[in-house]
Amino acid sequence: MSTFRNLIIWQKSMELVTNIYLETKTFPKEELYGLTSQIRRASVSIPSNIAEGYGRLGKNDYLRFLNIAISSLFELQTQLEIGKNLSFIQENNFNILFENTREIERMLASYIKKIKDS
């Protein structure tokens, strides 16, 4: 039986969440309820919305959740840039995380197109 757990895009999003949590552990303590929380929530929202949409009946509902996931991804990309600009994230770590988000972005865009065209 196929579930959302079988989706590579969900698996990669889950891996991203883990990496985001590890990276934000080094953020300043005063950012715990600020940027740290925002980044973590945006990252968690990506696989969560992929999973929730998968469980919906109907293509339009599924697409709505996939669009929320990609919006959260764009939010995360912006927040990572802010973290880098504030020197909370080292350049090399930023590049790795950002490229991971770009890969998920391409996969999500392709998946959304596939669902729309089906």
If 0-12 CB within 10 Å is exposed, 13-18 middle and 19+ buried, where does residue 93 land? middle
Q: pTM higher than 0.75 for the full model?
A: yes
pLDDT value, residue 111: 96
Q: What are phi and psi of 57, to 5 degrees?
A: -90, 120
C-alpha torsion 46→52→54→57, nearest 10: -140
Q: What is the pLDDT along the chain (118 residues), one digit of tens a residue?
A: 789 999 999 999 999 999 999 999 999 999 999 999 999 999 999 999 999 999 888 899 999 999 999 999 999 999 999 999 999 999 999 999 999 999 999 999 999 999 999 8
Q: How far is CA 64 from CA 19, 44, 48, 57, 93, in A?
A: 26, 17, 13, 12, 31
What number of CA atoms fall less than 13 Å from residue 56's CA on the CB side?
15
